[in-house]
């Protein structure tokens, strides 16, 4: 009588029962861990996604738009007039603000007859909405000299914006980054000037 034959691993595979592989699971776990590390590093040091929570920048970004924020721009240079930035406001707020830089450290901003002047020159942005730009809080008096290392920010939707007219200038150390892309909703995709 012949001895029974044992099945080889190749026969199991052809029968549709692949052997369990710890190595394959380990490779998947390693790939997922690497993806998480890369994502965290990118979010902490390079770029982050931010949801616009206010109507203060209408129509540039609208409320609930998603924007991509560069965290490296201001590591290599200073904010410039016209930049749209995301920052932690110098007031008690659980959300970051999105505003436009209007005046830089060392410059003097004035609000006269509903218009914005920086160093006695009128400053206009085509995206600005609202009939007039008026002061908001008595603690910010005009003309206002922006301290070095700070910026004066305004919302594009001037009548619906709580900005430097309310809380004063913003330290550059409070700036999270510069808005470079509006990507959501997809039909409003736009790159902002770098």
Query: Among the options 70, 93, 94, 99, which is catalytic?
Result: 99
Pairing of strands 150-154, 97-104: antiparallel
Count helices and strands in the chain by DSSP H and E runs: 4, 12
Record the tokens describing residue 41, joined without a space: 């590093």
Record the tokens describing residue 118, joined without a space: 């920086």
Query: From its phi and psi, is residue 149 left (phi > 0), alpha (psi between -120 and 50) or beta?
Result: left
Quick check: is 93 catalytic?
Answer: no
Start-to-end C-alpha separation, the chain: 84
Query: Among the options 56, 161, 164, 169, which is catalytic?
Result: 56
Quick check: is 99 catalytic?
Answer: yes
Q: Catalytic residue positions?
A: 56, 99
């Amino acid at each position: 009588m012949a001895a029974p034959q044992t099945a080889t691993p190749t026969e199991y595979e052809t029968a549709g029962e692949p052997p369990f592989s710890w190595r394959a699971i380990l490779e998947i776990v390693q790939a997922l861990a690497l993806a998480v590390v890369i994502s965290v590093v990118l979010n902490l040091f390079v770029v982050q996604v931010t949801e616009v929570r206010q109507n203060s920048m209408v129509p540039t970004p609208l409320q609930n738009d998603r924007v991509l924020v560069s965290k490296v721009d201001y590591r290599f240079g200073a904010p410039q007039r016209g930049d749209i930035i995301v920052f932690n406001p110098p007031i008690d707020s659980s959300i970051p603000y999105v505003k436009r830089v209007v005046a830089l450290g060392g410059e003097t901003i004035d609000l006269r007859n509903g218009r914005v002047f920086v160093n006695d020159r009128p400053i206009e942005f085509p995206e600005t909405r609202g009939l007039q730009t008026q002061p908001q809080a008595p603690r910010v008096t005009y003309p206002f000299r922006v301290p070095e290392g700070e910026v004066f920010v305004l919302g594009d939707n001037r009548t619906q914006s709580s900005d430097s007219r309310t809380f004063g200038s913003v330290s550059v150390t409070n700036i999270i980054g510069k808005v470079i892309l509006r990507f959501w909703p997809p039909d409003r995709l736009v790159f902002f000037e770098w």
